[in-house]
Structure 1
Amino acid sequence: MTSTAFLIGGDLKVRRLGFGAMQLPAEPGPARETSLAVARRAVELGVTLIDTAHLYGGGANEELLAEALYPYPEELLITTKVGVARSGPSGEWELDGRPAVLRDQVEQALRRLRVERIELLQLHRIDPQTPLADQVGTLRDLRTEGKIGRIGLSEVTVDDLNQAQDIVDVASVQNRYNLLDREHEPVLAACEAAGIAFLPWRPVAWGEAGARAEVAAVAAEVDATPTQVALAWLLGHSPVILPIPGTARIDHLEENLAAERLHLTQAHRDRLNRLPELA
């Protein structure tokens, strides 16, 4: 039986199937009202892990979640990411892991989310212009100061992870990964060996038509949607995988969360496991 829960950092219990808030419109109007409803429905349905980032609207997504969900249920974890800022010559978004920028974005997130501590704070990307030790060291210092509970990384290699682990305990890794895109399988293996949560972003993505046809065939056999098959495959592929599918629609949200109850036989999994070879 596939476990439906995971302890991030060894002590923070969450439901493995979470929610990515990136797609929620935050601008005033009917779309924002729908976004609030989607976030609230996710929590009603038992989601305890919601992912956001400073990059998503320059903090507007964080504010949206606070409006929808504050005061938060005790079991709810909202994790956010820092390290991308409007630092370009014309104000465009660029990787920026300078300690002062990371500190400022964490302080902004604390205010926007209306919390005293961010239980899981992730470095959105490693800034190649700033020493890794300075970036991870800043997050470690913020943890020491009580503003961060646990530290995660995003879009990293095994070498990046090892270097960061020499500086601070890494509780999570968020890399692109799905049924048809397993480039980061070595990172997933490293996370599994170390008991680190692996949050695949873009957990549902389709490749060539033939691959999609095979997913559709399995979906038809188990009376599910291809999206549900893709999510169920992730949940069964490794016990450290915590998918965070995003949507701005309640019906899609409900469909995604229902994937947790989907049973794939070993024969189905064997067929799905071969998909990257066929794509």
Structure 2
Amino acid sequence: MTTNDVYGEWKLGDLRVRRMGFGAMRLFGAGSPEGAVEVVRRAVELGADHIDTAAFYHQGTVSANEAIRAAGLGEDVVVATKVGPYRGPRDAFPTGELAAGDLRGEVERNLRELGRDHLDLVYLRTGGLEEPDGRSIGERFAALARMREEGLIRNLGVSHVSAAQLAEARGIAPVVAVQNRFDITMERDAALLGTCEREGVAYVPFFPLGGFGLPGDARLREVAGRHRATVAQVMLAALLALSPALLAIPGTGSLAHLEENMGAASLRLGADDLALLRR
């Protein structure tokens, strides 16, 4: 049974996906590998056919890639991953960036862990959580473009980039998606979202629910009250209503939160709701 989706679909290159997907970064919250697999399978049952992951998404006994593989998903589920950050075996989170020559090893690691012979979408992820630094990404993106030509990668994206870095990447190979930090209360990337919409590039926010806890915004609570919805659902529905190019990939390790998040795909906000949220 899938969630009633009022926001339609988008094409990631040659792959069509629903605009409400699932992010695997927080799967460790399931508490066990078996619990993580259950969350992934339920996400697909609820309509997610676009799952975002990375080999460096692991904590304790839970690996996002391994959970996705164990879930036994069909080929109709698009799996996007990202490479670029370096996370050592004792690091709690990525602490650096891989050089261009090291990216093949990360692509091959994702192939092994996901049990696939090619990757549907691979992002080059740059920097940390601060503003994009503007450095050239050409050498590293070109390394991924060569792997695309070899057939290891089907589509390419970029993550945590400036407009200039996106343009640089697009001068090397087609870019089907941008993944930057964005939520309805912090639209610092609105201009780049507009560029993506005009150029037919998907814009896929990370931290669509604020990243470190839901924002304490009275406007969100007011709209949630109008629709008898939760603040999280309003934030996700508002993103989907903002631009047809915007894809949502909220993540969780909780089945209850998963049901809540996926329910946002059936929450239709009105123009007055959006005007209030963007005021």
TM-score of the two chains, using structure 1 as the length reference? 0.88
Query: Identity of paired residues, percent?
Result: 35
- CA pair 47-138 structure 1, distance change in 2 beyond 3 A: same
Aligned to 1:66: 69
Matched with 1:82 is 83
Aligned residues: 267
**2:142 counterpart letter in structure 1:** G
Where in structure 2 are the equivalents of 1:96-245 lying within 5 Å? 96-125=97-126, 131-205=136-210, 209=216, 212-245=217-250
User: Paired residue for 2:27?
Assistant: 24
Contact 1:97 1:130 in 2 (8 A): no
Aligned to 2:11: 7
CA distance in structure 1 between the aligned counterparts of 2:75 and 2:96, rounded to whole angstroms? 33
Q: Secondary structure at the match of 1:181?
A: coil
The Cα of 1:91 is off from its aligned counterpart by 10
Question: Please, what is the CA RMSD of the aligned residues?
Answer: 2.6
Residues 91 and 202 of structure 1: is their aligned pair in 2 closer, same or farther, counting only changes over 3 Å? closer
For 1:208 and 1:81, how far apart are their aligned partners in 2?
27
More RCO (CA 8 Å, sep 6+): 2
Contact 1:195 1:240 in 2 (8 A): yes
Q: Secondary structure at the match of 1:25?
A: helix
Q: Please give the per-residue CA displacement for 1:218-273, whole angstroms capped at 9, x wherever unaligned.
A: 11111111111111100010000001001111111111111111121111111011
Work out whether 1:256 is the aligned partner of 2:256.
no
Residues 48 and 89 (structure 1), Cα distance of their counterparts in 2 relative to 1, 3 Å cut: closer
Which amino acid counterpart does residue 199 of structure 2 have in structure 1?
A
SS at match of 2:27: coil
Q: CA deviation at 1:207?
A: 7.4
Look up the SS of the partner of 2:220 in the other structure. helix
Which consecutive segments of 4 or more residues in structure 1 shift more than 6 A? 87-92, 127-130
2:242, 2:251 → 1: CA distance? 20
Paired with 1:215 and 1:92, the residues of 2 have a C-alpha distance of 31
Bigger Cα displacement from structure 2, 56-65 vs 261-270: 56-65
Could you tell me which runs of 5 or more consecutive residues in structure 2 were left unpaired when the two chains were aligned: none
In structure 2, C-alpha distance between the alignment counterparts of 1:249 and 1:2, rounded to whole Å = 24
CA deviations over 1:141-165 (Å, ceiling 9, x no partner): 0000000000000011111101111
Report the CA distance shift for 1:90/1:64 in structure 2 as closer, same or farther (over 3 A): closer
- TM-score, reference length from structure 2: 0.88
Q: CA deviation at 1:33?
A: 2.1
Separation in structure 2 between the aligned mates of residue 114 and residue 18 of structure 1, nearest angstrom: 21
